[in-house]
Homo-oligomer: A and B are copies of this chain.
Amino acid sequence: MLPAARCTGARQLSHFATTSPRCHMIAAVGGPGASASLNKVVRGTHPALLVTSSSAIPAEEQAKLVETSKRLAAYQAVKDHLLSSYTRIGIGSGSTVVYVVEAIAALGPAATADMIFYPTGAQSEDLIEAAGLRLQYINKLPAAEQLDVAFDGADEVDADLNLIKGGGACLWQEKLVATAAKRFVCVADFRKLSARLGTSWKKGIPIEVLPMAAPRVLAELKAMGSHNPRIRPGLPGKAGAIVTDNGMWIIDAPFTPLLLPRDAEEGGIKAGNGDNGVWQVDALADKLIKIPGVAEIGLFYGNNGLEIASGAQKPVAAYFGMADGSVEVKTPIASA
């Protein structure tokens, strides 16, 4: 089992040529926070987890295997990125975050006694409290301080670690927490891994909008090349549109898979500026956020916490539970 092969596999999801992002198979061994461990390529052997081959097993077994691998990914992410000296930790939403909190709680009360946990919404708030961890809200983070690290899931992750988030309509809070952290770590399962955003996540980029602006935003999105953007419905629980915790609506705007800078530069011509509805991630994000009526967008892009000191949106590492029960780690490509 070679990480290169797996990364190739990821690339095969797309027709885009890619350079090689750092991509590793890792295991639940190695010291906490040891970045060196990122280079280890070992099958996961987390205690209490039994990892087996994924070939030719029944669907039910496969589903269990996915859960097992998500759990393993979460444990590994916590092991690598939750240093014992940390005191402020962001906790995101979603099915994988359940295992992140489980992994943190498993460190024991002594290890977490000085840690405060900042949720992105009601689900993570409940997880934190149920685990007996100390809860605080992001608006209480002292102005001069940052979170040491934040863990969250994603709806899709591309080869440069750009993210689509917002499937749970909590993207505004999630961006607040992620950008308040020195380091943002993404944990997900293999289905979220794509070469380019929009490849496997076909529902579109979630965009949080002022309800009275929704028709104008929809028109603008269509003019930009979005394919059938639509207001997310509230059914079955609510007639009409979903209302976010911020009183906004969500528009899901599908686009042709988003280019990376290296795609845009290929062939000596500039691409990704929206011609024919083809966008490079950053160019699209820059345009979307400025549409009047848009409150926030579900693209996490730009820099990561290794590149800038504050406000980073991209993760410094993404952990994926794979179909075969192993864990894959993606880290930013060295710029050199």
Given A144-B219, A176-B293, A296-B292, does the pair A233, B239 have CB atoms closer than 8 Å? no
Binds B, one of A65-73, A133-141, A266-274, A327-335: A133-141
Is A240 a contact of B121 with CB atoms below 8 Å? yes
Whether the pair A290, B292 counts as a contact (CB closer than 8 A) is no
With both beta carbons as reference points, the residue of chain B lying nearest to A286 in the complex is identified as B290
Query: Are A213 and B292 closer than 8 Å at their CB atoms?
Result: no
Q: Which residues on B sit within 8 Å (CB–CB) of A219?
A: 143-144
Whether the pair B292, A311 counts as a contact (CB closer than 8 A) is yes
Copies in the complex: 4
A238 proximity list for chain B (CB < 8 A) = 168-170, 234, 242-244, 250
**A93 at the B interface (CB under 8 A):** yes
With an 8 A cutoff between CB atoms, is A58 at the interface?
no
Q: Is A243's CB under 8 angstroms from B245's CB?
A: yes
Q: Is A320 close to B, CB under 8 A?
A: no
Q: Which of B170, B176, B235 contacts A216 (CB 8 A)?
A: B176
A218 at the interface (CB under 8 A from B): yes
A190 sits at the interface (CB 8 A): no
Is the CB–CB distance between A212 and B144 below 8 Å?
Answer: no
Which chain B residues lie closer than 8 Å to A94 at the CB level? 239
Q: In the complex, what distance in Å separates the CA atom of A237 from the CA atom of B292?
A: 23
CA distance A214 to B246 in the complex (A): 13
B214–A139 contact, CB under 8 A? Answer: yes
A108 within 8 A of B: no
Q: Are A141 and B215 in contact (CB under 8 A)?
A: yes
Nearest opposing residue in chain B for A220, CB measure: B311
| A234-262 Cβ-contact flags toward B at 8 Å (1 or 0) | 11011111111111001000000000000
Q: Could you pull out 9 A-B pairs where Cβ atoms are within 8 angstroms?
A: A122-B241, A123-B240, A139-B214, A140-B215, A173-B212, A220-B311, A235-B237, A238-B242, A289-B290
A residues contacting B by CB (< 8 A) are 93-94, 121-123, 137-141, 143-144, 168-170, 172-173, 175-176, 179-180, 210-216, 218-220, 222, 232-235, 237-247, 250, 289-290, 292-293, 295-296, 311
